Structure 1
Amino acid sequence: MELTFLGTSAGVPTRSRNVTAILFKPGDQGSGRWLFDCGEGTQHQLLRTASHPGNIEKIFISHLHGDHIFGLPGLLCSRSMAGSVAPLTLYGPEGLREYVETCLRLSGSWTDYPLEIHEIEAGQIFDDGDLRVSAASLVHPVECYGWRIEQHDRPGTLDARGLAAAGVSPGPLFQKLKKGERVRLEDGRVIDGREWLGPPQRGKTVAIFGDTAPGPAALMLANGADLIVHEATLEHAMAEKANSRGHSTSRQAAALARDAHAARLIITHISSRYSPEGAAALLAESRALFPETELAEDFYSASL
């Protein structure tokens, strides 16, 4: 899995930071991508990556504030104008369907590909057998969600050397054995793949937060995550102002990562009031509580 930050500013863009959007590569296979939020200018940011709107299979909208959705109508239309016919699914709060349909109708636009819009509630959103995605309700002035992406455990490594010593030749049978299936050999022996697999490989977990003040759902969303992406709009001295507007500080994001026993934290959604030096100070505040903190910049990538 890999995340690429297309926008890392809060509220309004700056010279170096666009507003919120995160491109997510769900696995090692295929070119499909997911997008988390779609602030104004997201399709311009995509032009500076190896991806394009046609690669995007799913878009998750945390909430309907403009810095998270004003880029969505343009991206949907560009995807159609580029000739993409691949289906696209949107997930987000109540009102997302009305917003998209109204923008398309009033602008005389349309999509030439299947477009599904799911207005969600907290809970499991889907499980495709490889990844399970759940949503949690966050503390913000409007309905807002965070996302927990859990990769199913992988089968352990197949003991190919031991199988070869037992007279099992590499080939199609190995694929079945790696899945833990039973196979019958030409000599009549039955081999149980489960007996030739090492311990399962634990799947990775990523928690991506929308805008939020500290709240009761945060720990559940972040618990044990390999990576947390969390806003750090303001510095700790401005906690009261941040929380009153449904936002968090650098130290509050770090405290959550620490209490959730997470492996890594990436802070983003940085207020436009901060220069690069100010953003570095936010990072230092987070690292004082949770050393494994990174500061997102536009086009910064993180792999798991």
Structure 2
Amino acid sequence: MNPNSESAELGPALQALIVRAEQALERGLPPAEQSPAELHHAMRYAVLGGGKRLRPLLVYAAAHALGTDSVALDAAACAVELIHAYSLVHDDLPAMDDDALRRGQPTCHIVYGEAMAILAGDALQALAFEILADDMARQLDAATVVAMLHALGRACGAEGMAGGQALDLAAVGRKLSLAELEHMHACKTGALIRASVQLGALIAGADADTLDALDRYAHAVGLAFQVRDDILDVEGESAVIGKTAGKDAAAGKPTFPSIIGLEASCERLAELTDIALTAIAPLGNRGVLLQELAHYSANRRR
């Protein structure tokens, strides 16, 4: 199994972790021909059709920085990617962002229809919690399992992705302030990135100070990832970035370049990267994978 092209910019250690995450996802998803087969086909299409795997990588990298490489990490990595895949399926629906291209392929609802895409997203979200609860209960103490489930649930809900998407829909055609834009993306994109780092740290038994430092890192990386996304929406080509370039601007959605300009967006991106790297500086060489992911989020080409 080879790492997909979306993450080709990453080094060998992270590429190996992508393979590990892909294998965990393959094990966790229902077999394609198991009834109801069309639903399972749609779920597998949404998850296994490529992707950066940034969130699973953050799970692994956070735990590795704290000296842990437990098999429990595979369940957490799988769970956060299933949640991410579900969110993309629903975001692409006509009632949401109405997009026909994702990861260089037709979106799930284009291939399987809207109803089946909605069900696939619902099932992926449920499966994420099932895998996390089942696998963690066998390996970790109950308090840690509850903390992990709480972190993932919070990232999905009204204070996380769902709330961010609601703010995004309400913002179409409006001129947001930079603070409003960053809050929206801290929910829509950043919440799951923060949860990914938190899950890895919880598995590693991080103390409160370390959790706080890693959360500052993850908050900055989550915003940096979105700033870079908005820059790519202006500068990128659909064939390279794997989704429809220029779509946000055409839809009247507020972006960092539309609010503060392209040059200031690049400056904000550099500032956020510095904040992330400063937060994990006390980890020294142990944080090398987290450092690489911060640079990747800020400099990726797709």
Per the TM superposition, whether the score is higher than 0.5 is no
- Please state which structure has a larger fraction of its residues in strand: 1
Task: Work out which of the two has the higher radius of gyration on C-alpha atoms and give 1 or 2.
Answer: 1
TM (norm. structure 2) is: 0.30
- Please state which structure has a larger fraction of its residues in helix: 2
Higher relative CO (CA 8 A, sep ≥ 6), structure 1 or 2?
2
TM (norm. structure 1) is: 0.30
